[in-house]
Amino acid sequence: MTKTTIALLLICTAVFAQQKGTFTDERDKKKYKTVNIGGLTWFAENLNYDAEGSKCYEDKPANCTKYGRLYNWETAKTACPSGWNLPSEVGRSALTDFAGGENIAGKKLKAKSGWQKDGNKSGNGTDNFGFSALPSYGDGVQGIWWSAGENEKKKEWAFAWNVHYRTEEVAWTNGKNKSDFYSVRCLQGTAEEVKAKVDSIEKAKFEAAVGKQFNPKIKYGSMTDERNQITYKTIKIGKQTWFAENLNYNEKGSKCYRDNDNYCKTNGRQYDWATAKTACPSGWHLPSKDEWDALIASAGGEKIAGKKLKAKSGWSNEKYGRKIDKGNGNGTDDFGFSALPSGGTGGGLAGVGEEGGWWSTAEDGGNYPMKNDSDGIYRISAFKEQLHSVRCVQD
């Protein structure tokens, strides 16, 4: 069995399963439904442990039974039973990422009933994963849950996240007063254990994706960067020879997307414009406007070149959490350029999976973005301090 196969099996068994179970709190013998979402195990209902510093909505026991108790932040930090904890931002982010991103995760996490209507529109969710989020209060308007983080600058504030009957999103804030009363969802494991589990799942996912973007019907060349011994696939398109993947040289002024090394392994590093101009290895250089224009012309022109240069996999069929109107986001990779959507930092680009931008030497910060909802590639001006990808072209 290959490493790739093992990684894929890990993903299928550990990441995509949503096992349901139960847990009994030994302190008061209350039984809670639990659910595994993206490899992490959550309470599938709000905590209802009668700790000092907690209360029922409107002081009615029936509301505690239905919605769980409400806690101030100090109480919330220690209210979960042994083996369970108030989630940190790592756990909360893993949940919303698995549910499709913050823009639509609320819809997928909300229960199918119990939420107000927004005019003629239902405020209920689809409850795709069994999280079954209910509003924290009996009015059906919103649910607010504490996170473990606190505001470093304003000590009376702590992190929380919420969903609302009028929206599909999950919103988070670091500005909730610690004395306020909100719900608690317990997450299994310590913060360190949760982070280790998330990192392990993410690593397996990325390892399974490395190299999958290349077109098996294309005969690639290769070159090895003597500075760090990384070998890149290359491809000749027209009269030019290009890297067939993004540069991954750790130069000052570059970083991995979201500071996550896994993104560098699949999508290369991101560079500010000044760094991009000198980052390519000896014998290669950052392409000029004319060289980009020649590539685009070889691929059929601005209106369709993006489709032909994008990889056949790795592009999302959603944009900002919504299904795109056009196809599945992937390209046809006619020439083996195998472009991946690496996102952008500080440049207004959508995230990994949706868009990517590549630098040129043009003095106005000439940038060439490709998008999952477009077949085209059009040159734009970008602020030089933004971080984008680099494709090297041979001297």
pLDDT bucket at 345, cuts 50 / 70 / 90: low
User: Residue 117: which domain range?
Assistant: 3-204
Query: Looking at 180, 204, 228, which one is the last position of a domain?
Result: 204
Query: Looking at 141, 171, 204, which one is the last position of a domain?
Result: 204
On whether both 235 and 95 belong to a single domain, the answer is: no
3-state SS, residue 76:
helix
Tens of pLDDT, residues 280-296:
999 999 999 999 999 99
On whether both 172 and 315 belong to a single domain, the answer is: no
3-state SS, residue 273:
helix
Please name the residues in contact with 84: beta carbons below 8 A apart, sequence gap of 6 or more.
23, 43, 186, 187, 188, 189
pTM higher than 0.85 for the full model? no
pLDDT at 1: 34
pLDDT at 19: 83
pLDDT at 53: 94
On whether both 20 and 167 belong to a single domain, the answer is: yes
DSSP 355-395: EEEEE-S-TTTEEEEEETT-S----EE--TTSBBB---EE-
> Which of 2-16, 183-197, 231-245, 262-276 bottoms out in mean pLDDT, i.e. has the lowest?
2-16
Span 97-107, average pLDDT: 89
DSSP 5-32: HHHHHHIIIIIS---EEEEE-TTT--EE
Query: Looking at 204, 221, 255, which one is the last position of a domain?
Result: 204
On whether both 193 and 223 belong to a single domain, the answer is: no
Number of Cβ within 10 Å of residue 395's Cβ equals 9
Tens of pLDDT, residues 21-55:
999 999 999 999 999 999 999 999 999 999 999 99
pLDDT at 15: 42
pLDDT at 208: 82
Tens of pLDDT, residues 348-365:
556 778 889 999 999 988
pLDDT at 18: 59
On whether both 185 and 227 belong to a single domain, the answer is: no
The whole-chain average pLDDT of the chain stands at: 90
On whether both 19 and 103 belong to a single domain, the answer is: yes
pLDDT bucket at 8, cuts 50 / 70 / 90: very low
Q: Length of the chain in residues, anyone?
A: 395
